[in-house]
Amino acid sequence: MIKMAVYGKGGIGKSTTVSNLSVAFARRGMTVMQIGCDPKADSTICLHGGKPIATVLDLLRQKNKQVSLEEMVTRGYAGVLCVEAGGPTPGTGCAGRGIIAALEALTEKKAFEVYHPDIVIYDVLGDVVCGGFAMPIREGFAKKVFVITSGENMAIHAAANIAAAVEHFADRGYAELGGIILNRRNVAREEEKVEELAQDVHSRIVGRLPFSELVQQADEQEKTVLELFPDSDMAREYEKLAQQVLTAVSQKGGNQP
């Protein structure tokens, strides 16, 4: 089983990228589980045509230990197994608590043994890497971490912080950095700045996504590009990225060869 986490600054296109990757993996015949670890609980929404699914935290509030695994896991487009951790009511608790509760509940219900996923993708907000947000790395749920960034300064700053956190936990035998995914926004010196970031964190750019209006169009219709525009150049870019990620997962470490 491949276990990976994808981190990135809020608004960088992380969930859009992850959802398209999930479909690309599923179309390869893989059983895919996507676990949204953002309190907004919208990681998998494009896999359900815009319809939100019940979050693990909400289910636990309503039913406590009586919640079933089938209630926590919902099949989305292309058969992707979807989970949303959820979060507290704004201002009432720690946002990372939903991630901790969700992963503990999935483990208790033996989700991975029941569904036998070939690949599990944790979609994690990367503005902060502490508490629950670090759990996929810290507790060994993920073995590889990929960081999505553009050439925008705040996105690069967040990516560097994420890479530093991964390096810290890697010393303890947990997840390691698989590489950087460049999601282009067509800002000045974008390629150069992200190359510099990769060098600074002793990693590499494993994939480069072009800026495409089709991505925004698909997001507006709350679908993936691979569902809405399956024959487009952008769909092929996501398919290519899926192969690049699989290649990176099979390699030891995130350092440049």
Catalytic machinery residues: 9, 14, 40, 127
Residues with Cβ < 8 Å from 80, sequence gap 6 or more? 19, 22, 23, 26, 32, 33, 34, 44, 47
Of 77, 75, 101, 78, the residue nearest 88 (C-alpha): 101
Residues with Cβ < 8 Å from 55, sequence gap 6 or more? 41, 84, 85, 86, 87, 98, 102
Q: Please work out, in degrees rounded to the nearest 5, the angle formed at the alpha carbon of residue 238 by the alpha carbons of 234 and 243.
A: 145
Alpha carbons 101 and 243: distance in angstroms, whole number = 32
Q: Taking each helix axis as running N to C, give the angle between helix 190-200 and helix 153-170, from 0 to 180 degrees, rounded to the nearest 10.
A: 20
Backbone conformation region of residue 69, classed left if phi is above 0, alpha if psi is from -120 to 50, else beta: alpha
Would you state the structure tokens that stand for residue 97, as one six-digit string?
């608590």
3-state SS class at 91: coil
Please return the burial class of 168, using the count of CB atoms within 10 Å of its CB with bins 0-12, 13-18 and 19+. middle
Residue 35 pairs with which residues in a beta bridge? 83, 122
